[in-house]
Amino acid sequence: MNQDYIQPNNWSIIEEGFDAERVKSSESIFSIGNGAMGQRANFEEQYSSETFQGSYIAGVYYPDKTRVGWWKNGYPEYFAKVLNAPNWIGINVSINGEALDLANCKVIKNFRRELNMKEGWLSRSFEATLHNFIEVKVETKRFLSLDMDEVGAIQYHVTPLNNEAKIVFAPYLDAGITNEDSNWDDKFWNTLSVKFEGEQAFIESHTMKTKFHICTFMQSQVSLNGKKLNQEKTINDTVDSIEFQYQNQVNKGDTITLTKFGGYTTDRNHDKDELKSIAKENLTKASALGFNALLENQKEAWAKIWEMADIAIEGDVKAQQGIRFNIFQLNQTYLGKDARLNIGPKGFTGEKYGGSTYWDTEAYCIPFYMATKDQDVARKLLTYRYNHLEKAIENAKKLGFKNGAALYPMVTMNGEECHNEWEITFEEIHRNGAIAFAIYNYHRFTGDYSYIPEKGLEVLIGIARFWQQRANFSTAQNKYVILGVTGPNEYENNVNNNWYTNYLAKWCIAYALENIEWVKENYDSDYTRIMNKTKLSTTEMEQWKKVADTMYFPYSEKHHVYLQQDGFLDKELITVVDLDKSQRPINQKWSWDKILRSPYIKQADTLQGFYFFEDHFTTEELKRHFDFYEPFTVHESSLSPCVHSIQAAKLDRMDQAYSFYLRTSRLDLDDYNKEVEEGLHITSMAGTWMSIVEGFGGMRVKNDMLSFEPKIPTQWKAYSFKVNFRNQILKMNVAQGSATFELSGTDELKILVNGKKVTVAPNNLMTV
Amino acid sequence: MNQDYIQPNNWSIIEEGFDAERVKSSESIFSIGNGAMGQRANFEEQYSSETFQGSYIAGVYYPDKTRVGWWKNGYPEYFAKVLNAPNWIGINVSINGEALDLANCKVIKNFRRELNMKEGWLSRSFEATLHNFIEVKVETKRFLSLDMDEVGAIQYHVTPLNNEAKIVFAPYLDAGITNEDSNWDDKFWNTLSVKFEGEQAFIESHTMKTKFHICTFMQSQVSLNGKKLNQEKTINDTVDSIEFQYQNQVNKGDTITLTKFGGYTTDRNHDKDELKSIAKENLTKASALGFNALLENQKEAWAKIWEMADIAIEGDVKAQQGIRFNIFQLNQTYLGKDARLNIGPKGFTGEKYGGSTYWDTEAYCIPFYMATKDQDVARKLLTYRYNHLEKAIENAKKLGFKNGAALYPMVTMNGEECHNEWEITFEEIHRNGAIAFAIYNYHRFTGDYSYIPEKGLEVLIGIARFWQQRANFSTAQNKYVILGVTGPNEYENNVNNNWYTNYLAKWCIAYALENIEWVKENYDSDYTRIMNKTKLSTTEMEQWKKVADTMYFPYSEKHHVYLQQDGFLDKELITVVDLDKSQRPINQKWSWDKILRSPYIKQADTLQGFYFFEDHFTTEELKRHFDFYEPFTVHESSLSPCVHSIQAAKLDRMDQAYSFYLRTSRLDLDDYNKEVEEGLHITSMAGTWMSIVEGFGGMRVKNDMLSFEPKIPTQWKAYSFKVNFRNQILKMNVAQGSATFELSGTDELKILVNGKKVTVAPNNLMTV
């Protein structure tokens, strides 16, 4: 780990003491979001030192012109960027004419920040002495409402401690913002109007090129010692900002408070012409409720989420804090309400990685959302890809594929590819396999087959077509090979016959064929519609089958393992423990070519295949492959430790599983990768959930039943989690030496525990 | 070919008729240069339509900030750009107040452009009717002096044809220029002063960052019907430009002429403070001589070059024009006067490809310069790399090599790498081998061993160290392998065991060891100096030897050929003739990944090895490899046809050899690659020379003797060339059925003709 200033606490993330060096790190960690918008934990008042300002609206992006060194045919022209949105949280504060600015105080005491995950709010308090010798106490609380997801609320209290003082609150809206990371210094926003009415203000603006229209809004109210003041304000507006100024002489010990509601309405959800009137409705409703009532609603809404999604760990506060932080951030990012949205790798916490959707969603996030929400949420995530199928076909066409072959983008916001390293964009094609696997996984877990005839099968056909065309027959091997790919281990580029990719390709084709057959037999009208649409012929399916049946897999007779790719054994096979520590992380210490030539693995690659297709291999085979590959794995991807934790647990290596668990669950809190300033690793957080539920809990679906092989790290007293399995809620509590099951509802549930079938009766603790 | 408007002519490049579509193409083709500076054939007068303005000073570059999509450790931060220099050729012309502008005339007749290669000048003439109905005849001539290589001269005649007219000449200097292709829109030049004295003007400026100081200068003189006028002028100057205006009422049929001398002095050659005074001396000397005398000197200087370098072809004007154009452009680019300079792939004809030095110099250009100049010129080119050895060691160190291992840059201006595709910069390491081969080639041809103890051996040691460290032992192969490389065929990236690279690596080590031994025995003090400097130990040399002796080479037992790289036979081996024509060129029609997966070869790769090390293989082996690889070769690199032409000739396939010859010699004149607008392919022009001398003439050095196997395409009556072999000038004239040798000087020369030793007596034709 690289930092340890976060206080261990079961339900909150707490920072104590002010350190300017930690500001950007904390801005990421204390981020708040409600699925529709989110923001870094920037201070409301002016902060004149190093900060990374960020406020993001779900689905609002900008197609920045792609910047590349050397153009390659097939690169996307635009790169969809996560877009910094207008600032509505700003409240400048001046005290006897001096700006309150934590970068510029004489003394700062008792600085404390808390992200209360149980209730979904962020608070901050401190005492500051200004250069004018006035000492004030400041307390703020802020949240983004889950109930009214276009609205956020802030309460900002100032108490002069050593003297009376003239205190000016200046809440503002600012649409003159930029992105940290713009390729061509383009302007991204156009301001259309700046307006105010009474205590409300509105800025209408739209993104350039994409023309997303939004209205940013605020309303403010000043109170003294809890009593509302009706007072005059000064209004300052510019072409892209507006500020209200409220001036008050405040006695020593009295508390002056600014309550601010704000947020965005967007034409993604409303008619463009109604953005301001709906903004006004939002403000009127929120202010009528008031800050406290809205906060109570917030607590209830979060309680409902936790009721289903919480994982409780006894006896290990840091592990507890880690998993809750992960579950909290996932829910802040995506709540499954909108099929146009997805789970960005940085959520609403930073700009890095353009686009919102990676294969992370299918490979890592879907299990979490399937088990902790209504199954409709996972179906929305699948539908997202179905809605992008045409664009995936276009994308493949650009690269020379034909006849409806689909290559899903590596990174996207709207279905178009927006990454531009050839070795990734053009070659990291295993993503297609994860998308097909998610369909299989969804059906396996939810039992809902209807998605496949309705939507999924078309996706499976486009993907199978791609694999068939992407493979070629090698007369030398007398098999089909897949040349020029990058596997999940991005520390290898343009390799031939990546085992994971070849295995997925074969499986995708077989799975598509199996479902075509099933739909043909059971969903006549869907079958006819799909065949008419895709013009799939028997000849084509025979070609698919030939490729799948004759796929080549690199294998080492000597080591009895599948090889990550052709030629892997030509490398200098020095394990990670024998690597000088000064050389780590290799992605910071080594040139790219040295990394590529090395045997070091960024994240599970062959083992990712063993994770997806566990049933296809014996535990002995898993052990052999784990023992062969893990020693070369540097885990420099956030997605690496979780899969290894699950497999270590399966192999009864609980110490190793626990250490991988800590690494995945506290990756950002403890900043393992020295980059938390840039934002959080949202998608890998779902992997943390998997490493408890699938790893320690051993949860699988077998023969249409939930199956568990409960284990527990020696460091823990107990842990528990719930899963929603086909609309039945089952809770498992694992203690040292026992596991207890508890089922809600009215129907019993047959499950497997350590391979033995047991029946759980509803509302009745069952211990095994 | 893609264009055929260039008139066939033995000694000139001629364009007739004005076509705006051809302007940028002709600007490249009619470029002029004198080794110290060069320029595209931009019009002197205003031209308001599509044009690519370019004027370049040898060795003056700009380190533009590297633009990459995704940074990789080890990338250079700066990219040395060929820099567009201030414009000194400009002469605006106004006629009765209307600007003369070929993009904006009523009628243009008899437009003719000639690049006279024999005499080294560029002319242009046309008759234009302006919108004000004045018809004028314009004739211009321009050259860059070989004698006074800081000076160029222009004569610009205007004759009103249908009426008298007020004609204003406005010769100017303009330092407010930009590059076509700037990464970050940085400004590259700072103007320091704009001055004039009498008819002379001077702009002193310096490049930003690199701080190259230059003085751009001009002097002008107006004459009427050949008689000098002493007249008033108007002077317009801005912060970075200066213009003189000469106004004259000219009678119908009278000719008014502006003579302009101009050019650059730079602090690469002079003290910074003397740039203006030396500019003044240049102008004074040139104008005292006058345009005509300077032009006579130019003709003499070019006659001297042609005397040695010309290749005459009888019976095939297009072939003749092609080879002369190639020889002419090579001599315009590099004359071997300055060891700090090198041969940029676009010479002085465009900006594309930053940096001036590629492996092209060693692999393609050195044979031409060795045979057509004093051997001192080739030695300068070798010394260039010796002078960059420290930077090559630094470069390797950045990538993780140690102990004095040297990796020369793929592209450079000053020894630093300035390319930033990882698959090239980090992996196209065979360049190191070409640099070692050039040392061998130089010694073989010139017999001058002294370069090796003095300089070359240190280079060889650095290179051998690199290869030993870059290879690794594969326990699977029980051999040393070289992983993750890009061969000369850049349509493969990050492959394992590129045969050419492995072969070069082995050879480099063996050659270094052989020379260490020789220097040890014969150059005692050099040996001691080098061993002290390099700290080379016996243990290290033993490690080298182990790598060289145990190098792995991919081989196909089935096809009896070395494989271009591991896994080549897994590709879909469809030959180029079976590829749909609509798919060509694949670098424009296919996505990068499709190219990489295909078997198609951009330029000689395995065959490049057979070219370098011809003696190591039988003709039968060459034939087998040629027949295996050429059918997959798309020749989309300018460097491809020449090597294939030489090998086809060796295999007695004269039709194929001839067709490759035409393609290499007229690549730019006929614009085979649809890109001549961007500039000429200078380095491949040396390959054209090789395809006649080594291909048709069969010239080699064997046992310290020149050896010939003369052949001649059926399309030709005869051809002849001269070579300077160890200070003896031998001319060979090949006709259908005979070859004649003629030797200058006083000593006889033993040569091999078709394997038979013959003695050529001086000044005595000998026919075989």
pLDDT in tens, A418-436: 888 899 999 999 999 999 9
Tell me the per-residue pLDDT of A733-752, one tens digit each, with 9 for 90 and over. 999 999 999 999 999 999 99
Q: Which of A256, A259, A251, A46 is nearest to A161 (CA)?
A: A251
- Looking at chain A from residue 112 to 131, which residues have their Cβ under 8 Å from any Cβ of chain B? none
Q: Among the ranges A70-79, A353-362, B455-464, which has the highest mean pLDDT value? A: B455-464
| Rounded CA separation B405/A88 (Å) | 57
Residue B587: closest C-alpha in chain A: A73
Instruction: Say if residues B256 and B249 touch (Cβ distance below 8 Å).
Output: no
Tell me the per-residue pLDDT of B45-68, one tens digit each, with 9 for 90 and over. 999 999 999 999 999 998 877 766
ipTM of the complex: 0.91
What residues are paired with A721 via a beta bridge? A311, A732
Residues on chain A touching B71 (C-beta within 8 angstroms): none
**A181, pLDDT greater than 80:** no
Model confidence at B30, in pLDDT bands (50, 70, 90)?
very high
| Rounded CA separation B459/B432 (Å) | 10
Range scoring the smallest mean pLDDT among A22-31, B87-96, B119-128, B347-356 = B347-356
Tell me the per-residue pLDDT of A96-140, one tens digit each, with 9 for 90 and over. 999 999 999 999 999 999 999 999 999 999 999 999 999 999 999
Residues on chain A touching B597 (C-beta within 8 angstroms): 472, 483-484
Distance of residue A145 Cα from the nearest chain B Cα, in angstroms: 37
Pick the catalytic residue from B45, B427, B490, B677.
B490
**A68, pLDDT greater than 70:** no
| Rounded CA separation B696/A766 (Å) | 92
Residue A74 burial (10 A CB sphere; 0-12, 13-18, 19+): buried
User: What integer is the mean pLDDT of B135-144?
Assistant: 98
**A354, pLDDT greater than 80:** no
Could you tell me how many CB contacts below 8 A there are between chain A and chain B?
Answer: 131
Provide the pLDDT for residue B184.
58
Q: Which of B689, B697, B674 is nearest to B754 (CA)?
A: B697
**B674, pLDDT greater than 90:** no
User: What integer is the mean pLDDT of A11-21?
Assistant: 97
Provide the pLDDT for residue A419.
85
3-state secondary structure (DSSP) of residue B466 = helix
| Rounded CA separation B12/B321 (Å) | 7
Provide the pLDDT for residue B353.
73
Choose the mutation target among A592, A628, A636, A675 for the interface with B, i.e. most B CBs under 10 Å: A592
Tell me the per-residue pLDDT of B505-527, one tens digit each, with 9 for 90 and over. 999 999 999 999 999 999 999 99
Residues on chain A touching B476 (C-beta within 8 angstroms): 569-570
**A69, pLDDT greater than 70:** no
Provide the pLDDT for residue B182.
65
Pick the catalytic residue from A114, A490, A492, A630.
A490
Residues on chain B touching A185 (C-beta within 8 angstroms): none
Query: Which letter does DSSP use for residue B762 in this model?
Result: B
Instruction: Say if residues A727 and A744 touch (Cβ distance below 8 Å).
Output: no
| Rounded CA separation A72/A75 (Å) | 6
User: What integer is the mean pLDDT of A466-483?
Assistant: 98
E-strand stretches of A71-211: 78-82, 91-95, 98-99, 107-116, 121-129, 135-144, 151-160, 165-174, 189-197, 200-207
Q: Does A594 touch chain B (CB under 8 A)?
A: yes
Residues on chain A touching B592 (C-beta within 8 angstroms): 72-74, 422, 426
Distance of residue B491 Cα from the nearest chain A Cα, in angstroms: 12
- Looking at chain B from residue 400 to 459, which residues have their Cβ under 8 Å from any Cβ of chain A? 400, 420-423, 426-427
CB atoms within 10 A of CB B726: 13
Q: Does A593 touch chain B (CB under 8 A)?
A: yes
**B373, pLDDT greater than 90:** yes
Instruction: Answer yes or no: do B73 and A591 touch at CB < 8 A.
Output: yes
Model confidence at A231, in pLDDT bands (50, 70, 90)?
confident
**A353, pLDDT greater than 80:** no
Instruction: Answer yes or no: do B422 and A587 touch at CB < 8 A.
Output: no
Query: Which among B70, B473, B566 has the least Cβ separation from residue A567?
Result: B566
Tell me the per-residue pLDDT of A271-300, one tens digit each, with 9 for 90 and over. 999 999 999 999 999 999 999 999 999 999
| Rounded CA separation B596/A565 (Å) | 17
Tell me the per-residue pLDDT of A245-262, one tens digit each, with 9 for 90 and over. 999 999 999 999 999 999
Model confidence at A364, in pLDDT bands (50, 70, 90)?
very high
CB contact set of B226 (below 8 Å; sequence gap of 6+):
B255, B257
Distance of residue B206 Cα from the nearest chain A Cα, in angstroms: 27
- Looking at chain A from residue 53 to 72, which residues have their Cβ under 8 Å from any Cβ of chain B? 66-70, 72
| Rounded CA separation B722/B745 (Å) | 13
3-state secondary structure (DSSP) of residue B451 = helix
Return the H-helix or E-strand segment holding B181.
Answer: none
- Looking at chain A from residue 475 to 494, which residues have their Cβ under 8 Å from any Cβ of chain B? 475-477, 481, 483-484, 493-494
Query: Which among A66, A400, A475 has the least Cβ separation from residue B594?
Result: A400
Query: Which among A70, A567, A570 has the least Cβ separation from residue B421?
Result: A70
Instruction: Read off the pTM.
Output: 0.93
Provide the pLDDT for residue A67.
66
Instruction: Answer yes or no: do A472 and B398 touch at CB < 8 A.
Output: no
User: What integer is the mean pLDDT of B630-653?
Assistant: 97
Instruction: Answer yes or no: do A472 and B566 touch at CB < 8 A.
Output: no
Model confidence at A182, in pLDDT bands (50, 70, 90)?
low
Distance of residue A408 Cα from the nearest chain B Cα, in angstroms: 15
Q: Does B590 touch chain A (CB under 8 A)?
A: yes
Model confidence at A225, in pLDDT bands (50, 70, 90)?
very high
Instruction: Answer yes or no: do B474 and A427 touch at CB < 8 A.
Output: no
Residues on chain A touching B468 (C-beta within 8 angstroms): none
Provide the pLDDT for residue B67.
66
CB contact set of A253 (below 8 Å; sequence gap of 6+):
A159, A160, A161
Instruction: Say if residues B694 and B642 touch (Cβ distance below 8 Å).
Output: no
Instruction: Answer yes or no: do A593 and B66 touch at CB < 8 A.
Output: no
Instruction: Answer yes or no: do B567 and A570 touch at CB < 8 A.
Output: no
Q: Which two tokens stand for residue A479?
A: 């098999």
Instruction: Answer yes or no: do B73 and A422 touch at CB < 8 A.
Output: no
Instruction: Answer yes or no: do A73 and B426 touch at CB < 8 A.
Output: no
Instruction: Answer yes or no: do B427 and A593 touch at CB < 8 A.
Output: yes
Average pLDDT over all residues of chain B: 96
- What's the residue count for chain B? 768
Instruction: Answer yes or no: do A494 and B398 touch at CB < 8 A.
Output: no
User: What integer is the mean pLDDT of B237-255?
Assistant: 97
Instruction: Answer yes or no: do A593 and B481 touch at CB < 8 A.
Output: no
Provide the pLDDT for residue B356.
81
Residues on chain A touching B472 (C-beta within 8 angstroms): 570-572, 597
**A355, pLDDT greater than 80:** no
Model confidence at A673, in pLDDT bands (50, 70, 90)?
confident
Residue A480: closest C-alpha in chain B: B570
Tell me the per-residue pLDDT of B675-706, one tens digit each, with 9 for 90 and over. 899 999 999 999 999 999 999 999 999 999 99
| Rounded CA separation B351/B180 (Å) | 8
Return the H-helix or E-strand segment holding B607.
Answer: helix B606-612
CB atoms within 10 A of CB A466: 27
Tell me the per-residue pLDDT of B248-279, one tens digit each, with 9 for 90 and over. 999 999 999 999 999 999 999 999 999 999 99
- B314 versus A182: which is more confidently predicted? B314
Q: Which two tokens stand for residue B651?
A: 């295999």
Instruction: Answer yes or no: do B591 and A72 touch at CB < 8 A.
Output: yes
Average pLDDT over all residues of chain A: 96
Phi, psi (rounded to 5 degrees) for B19: -140, 115
Provide the pLDDT for residue B183.
59
User: What sections of B57-187 are H helices per DSSP?
Assistant: none
Per DSSP bridges, beta strands A749-753 and A705-708 are parallel
| Rounded CA separation B710/B196 (Å) | 59
Instruction: Say if residues A710 and A739 touch (Cβ distance below 8 Å).
Output: yes
Instruction: Answer yes or no: do A67 and B66 touch at CB < 8 A.
Output: no
Percentage helix, strand, coil, to 5, in chain B?
35, 25, 40
B390 is catalytic: no
- What's the residue count for chain A? 768
Choose the mutation target among B569, B570, B573, B584 for the interface with A, i.e. most A CBs under 10 Å: B570
**B551, pLDDT greater than 80:** yes
Phi, psi (rounded to 5 degrees) for A613: -115, 40
Range scoring the smallest mean pLDDT among A63-72, A195-204, B372-381, B445-454 = A63-72
Instruction: Answer yes or no: do A422 and B571 touch at CB < 8 A.
Output: no
Tell me the per-residue pLDDT of A577-634, one tens digit each, with 9 for 90 and over. 999 999 999 998 999 999 999 999 999 999 999 999 999 999 999 999 999 999 999 9
CB contact set of A257 (below 8 Å; sequence gap of 6+):
A155, A156, A157, A158, A222, A223, A224, A226
Instruction: Say if residues B635 and B490 touch (Cβ distance below 8 Å).
Output: no
Percent of chain A, pLDDT > 70?
A: 99
- Looking at chain B from residue 342 to 401, which residues have their Cβ under 8 Å from any Cβ of chain A? 398-400
Residues on chain B touching A68 (C-beta within 8 angstroms): 67-69
**B358, pLDDT greater than 80:** yes
The CA–CA distances, whole Å, from A235 to A170, A373, B671 equal 9, 46, 66
Instruction: Answer yes or no: do B570 and A399 touch at CB < 8 A.
Output: no
The CA–CA distances, whole Å, from A127 to A22, A89, A155, A163, A235 equal 18, 21, 17, 14, 29
Choose the mutation target among B395, B494, B551 for the interface with A, i.e. most A CBs under 10 Å: B494
Distance of CA B283 to the CA centre of its chain: 29
| Rounded CA separation A124/A13 (Å) | 12
What residues are paired with A227 via a beta bridge? A224
Q: Which two tokens stand for residue B313?
A: 């072809």
Choose the mutation target among B591, B628, B636 for the interface with A, i.e. most A CBs under 10 Å: B591
Distance of CA B431 to the CA centre of its chain: 17
Q: Which residue has the tokens 């340890």?
A: A4
Provide the pLDDT for residue A536.
98
Residues on chain B touching A497 (C-beta within 8 angstroms): 570
